[in-house]
Amino acid sequence: MEDRPLIVQICGNDPSIMARAACLIEDFCNNKSHGVDAIDINLGCPQKRAAEGHYGSYLLEKKDWKLVQEIVESMSKSVNIPISCKIRLLQTESQTVEFAKLLEAAGCSLLAVHGRQRGSQRHGRKGPADLDQIAAVKRALTIPVIANGNVRSPEDIWINLEKTRADGIMSAEGLLANPAIFKQALLLREGKDYQGNPLRQVALEYLDLAEEWKVPMDVQEQHVSHILGLSSATGGASWQHRKTAAERTKDLSLESKQGEAEEEEEER
């Protein structure tokens, strides 16, 4: 595979099952000849299914710290590749730092920190990400720390790196809306113009990849709705937005295929 590093994220609450899953992932990927560079433990998911299954951010309560420690230790001892973790903020900065240190001591090789607390089922977000807390985690650890949150533009990437001193930046919704955001950030650092509207080009490239990898149409609609700025504030597209995105998807697909046909005709 060209895109590296390749990291597989899993979740769960049973140390032995998580260790066996890590071994299966490592063996499967090695047998497929493309390998895997690390396995990530999801300790940040705030969704209802995570609460019902008692995993993700619902393992951040102090009563579960020993369990999480056992999960990280069992996984890191079972495979030859690094184990990383993704967490959210805890109730206080001191708790977040203490928990991060526990993860590092247990064998976590890289830590991604979403700079928000879990919030509630009804309101998943609780204001802007707290970059100061991520900076505190970075100062306390010796392993690499990835900052997550408050990335909506190429400029935000450099602002966040400067403020947190993190080793890297992770983006979720910002990247869905603008898959070219990291490339634009590099152009910005080089003093080059990144302005313009790359959305049509990005959408067409995505649709080509979706066709190649047989991505279901409903998933394509969701992704295109983000790229074209049609996503609702709650993170999911409304029915009308999805319908509009689907229509735009068809139009873009037709334009792409028509353009390819014209290019082939010119070559003849």
CA nearest to 165, candidates 131, 188, 118, 207: 131
CA nearest to 160, candidates 191, 181, 177: 181
Catalytic pick among 11, 29, 45, 85: 45
Rounded to the nearest 5 percent, the helix, strand and coil shares of the chain are 55, 10, 35
Element (H, E) at 7: strand 7-10
> Does the active-site annotation cover 23?
no
Dihedral sign for Cα atoms in the order 52, 65, 39, 222: positive
Strand partners, 67: none
What crossing angle do the helices spanning 181-189 and 154-164 adopt, rounded to 10°?
A: 70
Whole-angstrom CA distances from 94 to 125, 149, 221 are: 21, 20, 42
Instruction: Please tell me the distance from the alpha carbon of residue 249 to that of residue 255, in angstroms, as a whole number.
Output: 10
Six token digits for residue 10: 């899993």
Enzyme catalytic residues: 45
